[in-house]
Amino acid sequence: MTADFSANVDVARFPFDRQRLSVNLVVSGLTVAEVALRFDQSDIDYSRPSVNAVLAGWSVGLVDLKSQPQPGWYNGTHAQVVASLDIARQPGVVVASIFIPLFASLLIPLLAIWLNRMEDGVFKVDTYEMVNIIIGGLFAVIALSFTVYSSYAVLSSGDNTVNRLFALNYLTLASALFVNILFARFNVVSRLFGPYVQEQAYVTIMWAVPCLILTLATAFMLVAYV
């Protein structure tokens, strides 16, 4: 029999995910007491993907057979065998096209913090220039999300590495905007504690925020890989 089938995919570990393409064979009209579907090791050895099977962006694995009776009406059970094909995503192209831009976009709000400088507790770059960088980064992230979700619609919902990195991008943009407004625009820390405290606090933030963001982004990738 030749046919087209659909399968649900789990992209929680994207782009290091593995999928099982399954076909369920069920005897729906008779219970297991009347018909049983059985297989042995020779059937498993015989079941294999075609030598010509090619799936772009994926590595084709092995075929597996599993007996999994299906519950029916009135406590009846129907015989079922699940034949599944293992495939593993090849992450190279995906990492280059999605994750490198995602990591690069994290640098935009960080630049809005790094590029400013202080002398004697006074900022030398106007706040609106830093805010322009942040707004540009926001539009860049929005455009990137539109492109990614247009190509990989399945990533738009659920918890996965891409959504986590997009959330981290928005959080970093908000943090950079908050820091610039709080420190450079209104000088809140300087008014409360003096210019020296503000300068030291800003230097701490310049290094603490990038280290925290890099740690979180790396953790997201390692969780998907492991």
Q: Within this chain, do residues 61 and 123 fall inside the same structural domain, yes or no?
A: no
> Which of 38, 60, 89 delimits the end of a domain?
89
Of 51, 74, 89, the one marking the end of a domain is 89
Domain residue limits at 72: 18-89
Phi, psi angles (nearest 5°) of residue 29: -95, -10
Residue 24: strand pairing partners: 82
What is the CA angle 172-161-111, rounded to 5? 25
Write out the two tokens for 41. Answer: 């090791």
Task: State how many domains the chain has.
Answer: 2
Do 217 and 165 lie in a common domain? yes
From the DSSP assignment, how many helices (H) and strands (E) are in the chain? 7, 7
- Which residue type occupies 97? S
Token pair recorded at residue 166: 């997009």
Task: Indicate whether 167 and 116 sit together in one domain.
Answer: yes
Q: What is the DSSP letter of 157?
A: S
Residues 130 and 182 placed together within one structural domain of the fold: yes
Q: For the residues 60-83, what does the mean pLDDT come to?
A: 91
Which pLDDT value is given to residue 16?
94
Q: Which of 88-92, 171-175, 195-199, 213-217 has the lowest mean pLDDT?
A: 195-199
How confident is the model over 177-219, as pLDDT tens digits?
A: 999 888 888 888 888 898 888 888 988 999 999 999 999 999 9
For residues 27 and 85, state if they share a domain.
yes
Angle between helices 161-179 and 195-225 (to 10 degrees): 180
Question: Which one of 66, 89, 112 terminates a domain?
Answer: 89
